[in-house]
Amino acid sequence: MPHGLNVSAIREDFPILQQMIHGKPLVYLDSAATSQKPEAVIRAMDTYYRTTNANIHRGVYQLAEQATEQYEGARRKIQKFINAKSHREVIYARNATEALNLVAYSWGRANIHAGDEIVATVLEHHANIVPWQMLAKEKNACLNFIGADEHGELRGEEIETRITPKTKLVAVTMASNVAGTLTPLKSIVERAHAVGALCVVDAAQAVPHMPVDVQALDCDFLAFSGHKMLGPFVGILYGKRALLEKMEPFLGGGDMIREVHLEYSKWNELPWKFEAGTPAIAEAIGLGTAVDYLTALGMENVRAHEREIVAYALDKIRAVDGIQVLGPRAPDQRVGVIAFSIPEAHPHDVAQIMDGEGICVRAGHHCAMPLHEYYGLAATTRASFYVYNSPEEVDKLVETIRKVQQVFKT
Protein backbone atom coordinates (compact mmCIF):
# COMPACT_ATOMS: atom_id res chain seq x y z
CA MET A 1 0.00 0.00 0.00
CA PRO A 2 1.88 3.11 -1.23
CA HIS A 3 1.12 5.64 1.49
CA GLY A 4 3.28 7.59 3.91
CA LEU A 5 2.61 5.45 7.00
CA ASN A 6 4.82 2.64 8.23
CA VAL A 7 2.07 0.54 9.79
CA SER A 8 4.45 -2.06 11.23
CA ALA A 9 6.38 0.67 13.07
CA ILE A 10 3.17 2.38 14.20
CA ARG A 11 1.86 -0.87 15.69
CA GLU A 12 4.92 -1.06 17.91
CA ASP A 13 3.76 2.17 19.57
CA PHE A 14 0.53 0.54 20.83
CA PRO A 15 1.07 -1.82 23.78
CA ILE A 16 -2.43 -3.31 23.60
CA LEU A 17 -1.89 -4.57 20.04
CA GLN A 18 0.93 -6.86 21.15
CA GLN A 19 -1.36 -9.28 22.99
CA MET A 20 -3.18 -12.48 22.04
CA ILE A 21 -6.95 -12.96 22.32
CA HIS A 22 -8.18 -16.56 22.64
CA GLY A 23 -4.72 -17.62 21.50
CA LYS A 24 -4.93 -15.51 18.33
CA PRO A 25 -3.20 -12.22 17.48
CA LEU A 26 -5.45 -9.27 18.36
CA VAL A 27 -7.10 -7.71 15.29
CA TYR A 28 -8.69 -4.48 16.51
CA LEU A 29 -11.35 -3.24 14.07
CA ASP A 30 -13.48 -1.07 16.37
CA SER A 31 -11.73 2.30 16.27
CA ALA A 32 -14.98 4.08 15.35
CA ALA A 33 -16.15 3.22 18.88
CA THR A 34 -12.82 4.04 20.52
CA SER A 35 -9.28 4.03 19.22
CA GLN A 36 -6.31 2.45 20.94
CA LYS A 37 -3.72 4.65 22.64
CA PRO A 38 -0.02 4.90 21.78
CA GLU A 39 2.65 4.63 24.45
CA ALA A 40 3.30 8.37 24.19
CA VAL A 41 -0.26 9.22 25.30
CA ILE A 42 -0.21 6.67 28.13
CA ARG A 43 3.16 7.98 29.28
CA ALA A 44 2.06 11.64 29.17
CA MET A 45 -0.88 10.95 31.46
CA ASP A 46 1.20 8.76 33.74
CA THR A 47 3.88 11.46 33.96
CA TYR A 48 1.29 14.08 34.92
CA TYR A 49 0.04 11.92 37.79
CA ARG A 50 3.56 11.02 38.90
CA THR A 51 5.19 14.45 38.68
CA THR A 52 2.68 17.27 38.20
CA ASN A 53 -0.60 16.23 39.82
CA ALA A 54 -2.30 19.44 40.99
CA ASN A 55 -5.45 21.39 40.24
CA ILE A 56 -5.22 24.12 37.63
CA HIS A 57 -5.74 27.88 37.34
CA ARG A 58 -6.03 28.71 41.05
CA GLY A 59 -2.77 27.53 42.54
CA VAL A 60 0.33 29.72 42.55
CA TYR A 61 2.77 26.97 43.54
CA GLN A 62 4.99 25.30 40.97
CA LEU A 63 3.03 22.07 40.45
CA ALA A 64 -0.22 23.95 39.86
CA GLU A 65 1.46 26.31 37.42
CA GLN A 66 3.00 23.40 35.51
CA ALA A 67 -0.34 21.57 35.38
CA THR A 68 -2.07 24.72 34.11
CA GLU A 69 0.60 25.24 31.47
CA GLN A 70 0.24 21.68 30.19
CA TYR A 71 -3.58 21.81 30.21
CA GLU A 72 -3.73 25.11 28.35
CA GLY A 73 -0.86 24.07 26.11
CA ALA A 74 -2.93 21.10 24.96
CA ARG A 75 -5.78 23.49 24.12
CA ARG A 76 -3.48 25.47 21.85
CA LYS A 77 -2.32 22.28 20.13
CA ILE A 78 -5.97 21.38 19.45
CA GLN A 79 -6.64 24.92 18.19
CA LYS A 80 -3.83 24.55 15.66
CA PHE A 81 -4.90 21.03 14.73
CA ILE A 82 -8.37 22.17 13.59
CA ASN A 83 -7.18 25.69 12.59
CA ALA A 84 -9.43 27.64 14.94
CA LYS A 85 -8.76 31.37 15.02
CA SER A 86 -8.25 31.44 18.77
CA HIS A 87 -7.67 29.06 21.66
CA ARG A 88 -10.71 30.74 23.22
CA GLU A 89 -12.87 28.95 20.63
CA VAL A 90 -11.76 25.51 21.92
CA ILE A 91 -13.80 24.19 24.86
CA TYR A 92 -13.14 20.99 26.75
CA ALA A 93 -16.17 18.81 27.36
CA ARG A 94 -16.73 15.35 28.79
CA ASN A 95 -17.24 13.95 25.27
CA ALA A 96 -18.66 14.95 21.87
CA THR A 97 -22.18 14.21 23.10
CA GLU A 98 -21.83 16.73 25.91
CA ALA A 99 -20.37 19.24 23.45
CA LEU A 100 -23.45 18.95 21.21
CA ASN A 101 -25.75 19.19 24.22
CA LEU A 102 -23.91 22.35 25.26
CA VAL A 103 -24.91 23.94 21.94
CA ALA A 104 -28.50 22.75 22.33
CA TYR A 105 -28.73 24.10 25.87
CA SER A 106 -26.74 27.33 25.72
CA TRP A 107 -27.44 28.47 22.17
CA GLY A 108 -30.60 26.55 21.30
CA ARG A 109 -32.71 27.48 24.30
CA ALA A 110 -32.02 31.16 23.73
CA ASN A 111 -32.46 31.21 19.95
CA ILE A 112 -34.97 28.53 18.93
CA HIS A 113 -38.62 29.54 19.23
CA ALA A 114 -42.05 28.15 18.40
CA GLY A 115 -42.43 27.52 14.68
CA ASP A 116 -38.69 27.54 13.98
CA GLU A 117 -37.15 24.64 12.10
CA ILE A 118 -34.13 22.52 12.99
CA VAL A 119 -32.72 20.34 10.21
CA ALA A 120 -30.62 17.20 10.68
CA THR A 121 -29.92 14.18 8.44
CA VAL A 122 -30.87 10.50 8.60
CA LEU A 123 -27.15 9.69 8.89
CA GLU A 124 -26.78 11.16 12.37
CA HIS A 125 -25.54 9.49 15.51
CA HIS A 126 -28.09 9.68 18.34
CA ALA A 127 -25.96 12.42 19.92
CA ASN A 128 -26.85 14.69 17.00
CA ILE A 129 -30.55 13.78 17.01
CA VAL A 130 -31.77 13.44 20.59
CA PRO A 131 -30.69 16.91 21.84
CA TRP A 132 -32.57 18.50 18.93
CA GLN A 133 -35.63 16.34 19.56
CA MET A 134 -35.63 17.53 23.16
CA LEU A 135 -35.13 21.14 22.14
CA ALA A 136 -37.83 21.01 19.45
CA LYS A 137 -40.31 19.51 21.90
CA GLU A 138 -39.53 22.10 24.57
CA LYS A 139 -39.75 25.05 22.15
CA ASN A 140 -42.55 23.72 19.94
CA ALA A 141 -40.17 23.86 16.98
CA CYS A 142 -40.10 21.52 13.98
CA LEU A 143 -37.33 18.96 13.40
CA ASN A 144 -36.84 17.91 9.76
CA PHE A 145 -34.40 15.44 8.19
CA ILE A 146 -32.45 15.33 4.95
CA GLY A 147 -32.73 11.84 3.42
CA ALA A 148 -30.12 9.61 1.84
CA ASP A 149 -30.07 7.36 -1.23
CA GLU A 150 -29.46 3.61 -1.31
CA HIS A 151 -25.70 4.21 -1.12
CA GLY A 152 -25.89 6.28 2.04
CA GLU A 153 -25.24 9.60 0.32
CA LEU A 154 -27.37 12.61 1.19
CA ARG A 155 -29.95 13.64 -1.40
CA GLY A 156 -28.65 16.87 -2.87
CA GLU A 157 -32.07 18.21 -3.76
CA GLU A 158 -33.22 17.81 -0.14
CA ILE A 159 -30.37 19.98 1.08
CA GLU A 160 -32.05 22.78 -0.83
CA THR A 161 -35.66 21.92 -0.01
CA ARG A 162 -35.31 21.00 3.67
CA ILE A 163 -33.17 24.01 4.65
CA THR A 164 -35.61 26.92 4.33
CA PRO A 165 -35.90 30.50 5.60
CA LYS A 166 -37.64 29.03 8.66
CA THR A 167 -34.54 26.98 9.49
CA LYS A 168 -32.54 28.32 12.43
CA LEU A 169 -30.08 25.46 12.92
CA VAL A 170 -28.66 22.67 10.76
CA ALA A 171 -27.09 19.70 12.58
CA VAL A 172 -25.01 17.44 10.36
CA THR A 173 -22.38 14.76 10.65
CA MET A 174 -19.15 15.22 8.74
CA ALA A 175 -18.81 11.44 8.39
CA SER A 176 -21.38 8.76 9.22
CA ASN A 177 -20.36 6.25 11.88
CA VAL A 178 -22.37 3.53 10.08
CA ALA A 179 -22.47 4.22 6.34
CA GLY A 180 -19.05 5.87 6.43
CA THR A 181 -20.41 8.62 4.21
CA LEU A 182 -18.51 11.88 3.88
CA THR A 183 -21.21 14.51 3.67
CA PRO A 184 -21.03 17.56 1.35
CA LEU A 185 -20.40 19.71 4.38
CA LYS A 186 -19.23 22.86 2.64
CA SER A 187 -22.41 23.11 0.57
CA ILE A 188 -24.58 22.38 3.62
CA VAL A 189 -22.89 25.14 5.63
CA GLU A 190 -23.28 27.55 2.72
CA ARG A 191 -26.96 26.69 2.34
CA ALA A 192 -27.56 27.13 6.08
CA HIS A 193 -25.88 30.52 6.10
CA ALA A 194 -27.77 31.59 2.97
CA VAL A 195 -31.07 31.29 4.87
CA GLY A 196 -29.66 32.81 8.07
CA ALA A 197 -29.23 29.53 9.97
CA LEU A 198 -26.28 28.26 11.95
CA CYS A 199 -24.56 24.90 11.35
CA VAL A 200 -23.35 22.53 14.06
CA VAL A 201 -21.14 19.65 12.92
CA ASP A 202 -20.59 16.25 14.52
CA ALA A 203 -17.00 15.56 13.44
CA ALA A 204 -16.29 12.64 15.78
CA GLN A 205 -15.60 10.34 12.82
CA ALA A 206 -13.77 12.98 10.78
CA VAL A 207 -11.27 14.91 12.89
CA PRO A 208 -9.32 11.71 13.75
CA HIS A 209 -9.04 10.64 10.12
CA MET A 210 -8.39 13.64 7.87
CA PRO A 211 -7.32 17.27 7.90
CA VAL A 212 -10.14 19.43 9.26
CA ASP A 213 -10.03 23.23 8.96
CA VAL A 214 -12.91 24.88 10.80
CA GLN A 215 -12.19 28.27 9.23
CA ALA A 216 -12.33 26.83 5.72
CA LEU A 217 -15.53 24.94 6.54
CA ASP A 218 -16.99 28.10 8.11
CA CYS A 219 -19.13 25.97 10.43
CA ASP A 220 -20.46 27.67 13.54
CA PHE A 221 -19.92 24.80 15.96
CA LEU A 222 -18.01 21.52 15.64
CA ALA A 223 -17.73 18.66 18.14
CA PHE A 224 -15.37 15.70 18.32
CA SER A 225 -14.01 13.13 20.77
CA GLY A 226 -10.45 12.62 21.96
CA HIS A 227 -10.90 8.91 22.52
CA LYS A 228 -11.53 8.30 18.82
CA MET A 229 -8.23 9.98 17.84
CA LEU A 230 -5.68 8.03 19.91
CA GLY A 231 -6.40 10.11 23.02
CA PRO A 232 -8.26 9.54 26.30
CA PHE A 233 -11.93 10.06 27.08
CA VAL A 234 -12.43 13.80 26.67
CA GLY A 235 -14.42 15.86 24.16
CA ILE A 236 -13.95 19.13 22.33
CA LEU A 237 -16.40 21.79 21.21
CA TYR A 238 -15.25 24.38 18.70
CA GLY A 239 -17.45 27.45 18.40
CA LYS A 240 -17.08 30.80 16.70
CA ARG A 241 -16.03 33.28 19.31
CA ALA A 242 -18.77 35.82 18.57
CA LEU A 243 -21.40 33.15 19.21
CA LEU A 244 -19.77 31.77 22.33
CA GLU A 245 -19.45 35.25 23.82
CA LYS A 246 -23.22 35.73 23.66
CA MET A 247 -24.13 32.31 25.03
CA GLU A 248 -25.00 31.64 28.66
CA PRO A 249 -23.00 28.97 30.53
CA PHE A 250 -23.99 25.34 30.25
CA LEU A 251 -23.08 24.41 33.84
CA GLY A 252 -22.62 26.50 36.96
CA GLY A 253 -19.96 26.20 39.65
CA GLY A 254 -16.27 26.73 40.11
CA ASP A 255 -13.87 28.05 37.46
CA MET A 256 -16.64 29.28 35.12
CA ILE A 257 -17.10 32.37 37.29
CA ARG A 258 -15.35 35.68 37.72
CA GLU A 259 -17.31 36.77 40.79
CA VAL A 260 -19.93 35.11 42.98
CA HIS A 261 -22.12 37.03 45.41
CA LEU A 262 -25.20 35.87 47.24
CA GLU A 263 -27.40 37.88 44.92
CA TYR A 264 -25.65 37.38 41.55
CA SER A 265 -22.60 36.05 39.72
CA LYS A 266 -20.40 37.20 36.85
CA TRP A 267 -19.04 34.72 34.34
CA ASN A 268 -15.45 34.00 33.45
CA GLU A 269 -14.13 34.81 29.99
CA LEU A 270 -13.86 32.27 27.18
CA PRO A 271 -13.25 29.42 27.09
CA TRP A 272 -13.51 28.86 30.84
CA LYS A 273 -17.08 30.17 30.97
CA PHE A 274 -18.10 26.72 29.69
CA GLU A 275 -15.73 24.64 31.83
CA ALA A 276 -17.32 24.41 35.26
CA GLY A 277 -15.54 22.59 38.06
CA THR A 278 -12.30 20.67 38.06
CA PRO A 279 -11.73 19.46 34.47
CA ALA A 280 -10.23 16.23 33.17
CA ILE A 281 -6.68 17.58 33.39
CA ALA A 282 -4.73 14.40 32.65
CA GLU A 283 -7.10 13.59 29.78
CA ALA A 284 -6.61 17.02 28.21
CA ILE A 285 -2.84 16.60 28.44
CA GLY A 286 -3.17 13.13 26.91
CA LEU A 287 -5.24 14.52 24.04
CA GLY A 288 -2.57 17.15 23.41
CA THR A 289 -0.02 14.34 23.08
CA ALA A 290 -2.35 12.43 20.73
CA VAL A 291 -2.53 15.57 18.57
CA ASP A 292 1.28 15.64 18.54
CA TYR A 293 1.35 11.99 17.45
CA LEU A 294 -1.16 12.49 14.62
CA THR A 295 0.54 15.70 13.52
CA ALA A 296 3.85 13.83 13.27
CA LEU A 297 2.20 11.15 11.13
CA GLY A 298 0.62 13.85 8.94
CA MET A 299 -3.15 13.93 8.55
CA GLU A 300 -2.87 13.71 4.76
CA ASN A 301 -0.98 10.45 5.27
CA VAL A 302 -3.59 9.24 7.75
CA ARG A 303 -6.32 9.93 5.20
CA ALA A 304 -4.37 8.29 2.36
CA HIS A 305 -3.84 5.14 4.42
CA GLU A 306 -7.52 5.03 5.27
CA ARG A 307 -8.62 5.42 1.65
CA GLU A 308 -6.34 2.59 0.59
CA ILE A 309 -7.30 0.15 3.31
CA VAL A 310 -11.03 0.83 2.96
CA ALA A 311 -10.75 0.34 -0.84
CA TYR A 312 -9.02 -2.98 -0.23
CA ALA A 313 -11.59 -4.01 2.38
CA LEU A 314 -14.58 -3.03 0.22
CA ASP A 315 -13.26 -5.08 -2.70
CA LYS A 316 -12.63 -8.10 -0.49
CA ILE A 317 -15.94 -7.97 1.38
CA ARG A 318 -18.05 -7.29 -1.70
CA ALA A 319 -16.47 -10.32 -3.35
CA VAL A 320 -18.18 -12.51 -0.76
CA ASP A 321 -21.59 -13.64 -2.02
CA GLY A 322 -24.63 -12.57 -0.02
CA ILE A 323 -23.03 -9.72 1.95
CA GLN A 324 -24.87 -6.40 2.08
CA VAL A 325 -22.50 -3.46 2.57
CA LEU A 326 -23.85 -0.07 3.62
CA GLY A 327 -22.51 3.21 2.33
CA PRO A 328 -20.99 4.76 -0.79
CA ARG A 329 -19.27 2.48 -3.27
CA ALA A 330 -16.34 4.85 -3.87
CA PRO A 331 -13.62 4.82 -1.15
CA ASP A 332 -13.03 8.54 -1.70
CA GLN A 333 -16.59 9.23 -0.54
CA ARG A 334 -16.26 7.51 2.82
CA VAL A 335 -14.14 7.10 5.94
CA GLY A 336 -12.74 3.84 7.27
CA VAL A 337 -16.04 2.43 8.50
CA ILE A 338 -17.70 -0.57 6.86
CA ALA A 339 -21.03 -1.78 8.22
CA PHE A 340 -22.32 -4.98 6.66
CA SER A 341 -25.05 -7.54 7.02
CA ILE A 342 -24.82 -11.33 6.65
CA PRO A 343 -28.48 -12.29 6.07
CA GLU A 344 -28.24 -15.73 7.67
CA ALA A 345 -26.47 -14.55 10.84
CA HIS A 346 -27.38 -12.02 13.53
CA PRO A 347 -24.66 -9.38 14.01
CA HIS A 348 -24.15 -10.41 17.65
CA ASP A 349 -23.44 -13.97 16.52
CA VAL A 350 -21.07 -12.63 13.90
CA ALA A 351 -19.21 -10.57 16.49
CA GLN A 352 -18.97 -13.54 18.85
CA ILE A 353 -17.44 -15.75 16.18
CA MET A 354 -15.09 -12.91 15.24
CA ASP A 355 -14.03 -12.62 18.88
CA GLY A 356 -13.10 -16.29 18.86
CA GLU A 357 -10.63 -15.43 16.11
CA GLY A 358 -9.21 -12.49 18.05
CA ILE A 359 -11.09 -9.93 15.91
CA CYS A 360 -12.84 -6.98 17.55
CA VAL A 361 -15.84 -5.67 15.60
CA ARG A 362 -18.99 -3.86 16.70
CA ALA A 363 -22.48 -5.38 16.47
CA GLY A 364 -25.80 -3.58 16.84
CA HIS A 365 -27.27 -0.29 15.69
CA HIS A 366 -24.13 1.73 16.58
CA CYS A 367 -26.16 4.55 18.18
CA ALA A 368 -27.83 5.12 14.80
CA MET A 369 -31.19 3.38 15.08
CA PRO A 370 -32.98 5.77 12.69
CA LEU A 371 -30.48 5.03 9.91
CA HIS A 372 -30.92 1.29 10.37
CA GLU A 373 -34.69 1.73 10.30
CA TYR A 374 -34.29 3.84 7.14
CA TYR A 375 -32.64 0.85 5.43
CA GLY A 376 -34.93 -1.75 6.98
CA LEU A 377 -32.20 -3.29 9.13
CA ALA A 378 -32.39 -4.16 12.83
CA ALA A 379 -28.63 -4.19 13.22
CA THR A 380 -25.33 -4.55 11.37
CA THR A 381 -21.79 -5.67 11.99
CA ARG A 382 -19.25 -2.86 11.74
CA ALA A 383 -15.52 -3.01 11.07
CA SER A 384 -13.62 0.25 11.40
CA PHE A 385 -10.00 0.98 10.56
CA TYR A 386 -7.27 3.32 11.71
CA VAL A 387 -3.56 4.02 11.39
CA TYR A 388 -2.52 0.70 12.96
CA ASN A 389 -4.58 -1.58 10.70
CA SER A 390 -3.10 -3.60 7.84
CA PRO A 391 -4.32 -5.43 4.71
CA GLU A 392 -3.49 -8.71 6.44
CA GLU A 393 -6.06 -7.87 9.11
CA VAL A 394 -8.64 -7.25 6.39
CA ASP A 395 -7.84 -10.68 4.98
CA LYS A 396 -8.42 -12.20 8.43
CA LEU A 397 -11.75 -10.35 8.68
CA VAL A 398 -12.93 -11.65 5.29
CA GLU A 399 -11.75 -15.17 6.08
CA THR A 400 -13.87 -15.09 9.24
CA ILE A 401 -16.90 -13.71 7.37
CA ARG A 402 -16.71 -16.80 5.18
CA LYS A 403 -16.43 -18.94 8.31
CA VAL A 404 -19.59 -17.30 9.68
CA GLN A 405 -21.42 -18.14 6.47
CA GLN A 406 -20.35 -21.78 6.77
CA VAL A 407 -21.47 -21.95 10.40
CA PHE A 408 -24.95 -20.63 9.55
CA LYS A 409 -25.30 -22.32 6.18
CA THR A 410 -28.62 -24.12 5.89
Identify the domain containing residue 173 by its residue range.
43-295
| Domain closes at, from 269, 295, 321 | 295
* pLDDT over 90 percentage in the chain: 97
Give residue-wise pLDDT tens across range 203-252.
Answer: 999 999 999 999 999 999 999 999 999 999 999 999 999 999 999 999 99
Question: What pLDDT is stored for residue 4 in this prediction?
Answer: 80
Give residue-wise pLDDT tens across range 81-94.
Answer: 999 999 999 999 99
- Is 60 exceeded by the pLDDT of residue 151? yes
Catalytic residues: 367
pTM for the whole thing?
0.97
CA angle 13, 355, 371 (to 5 degrees): 95
Residues linked to residue 260 through DSSP beta bridges, in sequence order: 265
* pLDDT, mean of residues 190-215: 98
Based on the domain organization, do 154 and 288 belong to the same domain?
yes
Give the pLDDT band (50/70/90) at residue 3: low
* pLDDT, mean of residues 358-376: 95
- For the chain, what percentages of helix, strand and coil (3-state, to nearest 5) are there? 45, 20, 40
Based on the domain organization, do 303 and 290 belong to the same domain?
no
Mean pLDDT of the chain: 96
| Domain closes at, from 245, 271, 295 | 295
Give residue-wise pLDDT tens across range 246-299.
Answer: 999 999 999 999 999 999 999 999 999 999 999 999 999 999 999 999 999 999
Based on the domain organization, do 22 and 112 belong to the same domain?
no
Strand 257-260, strand 235-239: pairing: unpaired
Split into its structural domains, the chain has a count of 2
Length of the chain, please?
A: 410
Based on the domain organization, do 181 and 241 belong to the same domain?
yes
Within 13 Å of residue 408, how many CA atoms lie on the same side as its CB? 15
209, 189 Cβ separation under 8 angstroms = no
Residue 38 lies in a domain: no
- Is 80 exceeded by the pLDDT of residue 15? yes
- Rounded CA-CA distance 186/205 in Å is 17
- Is 50 exceeded by the pLDDT of residue 2? no
Based on the domain organization, do 251 and 289 belong to the same domain?
yes
Based on the domain organization, do 151 and 178 belong to the same domain?
yes
Q: What is the dihedral of CA 163, 165, 169, 172, to 10 degrees?
A: 10
Prior bond to 184 cis, omega within 30? no
Residue 303 lies in a domain: yes
Ramachandran sector of residue 322 (left: φ over 0; alpha: ψ -120 to 50; beta: rest): left
- Rounded CA-CA distance 172/222 in Å is 10
Question: What pLDDT is stored for residue 1 in this prediction?
Answer: 41
Q: Please report, for the domain that includes residue 69, its CATH number.
A: 3.40.640.10
Based on the domain organization, do 279 and 314 belong to the same domain?
no
- Rounded CA-CA distance 217/213 in Å is 6
Residue 201 lies in a domain: yes
- Is 80 exceeded by the pLDDT of residue 350? yes
Residue 112 lies in a domain: yes
Residue 36 lies in a domain: no
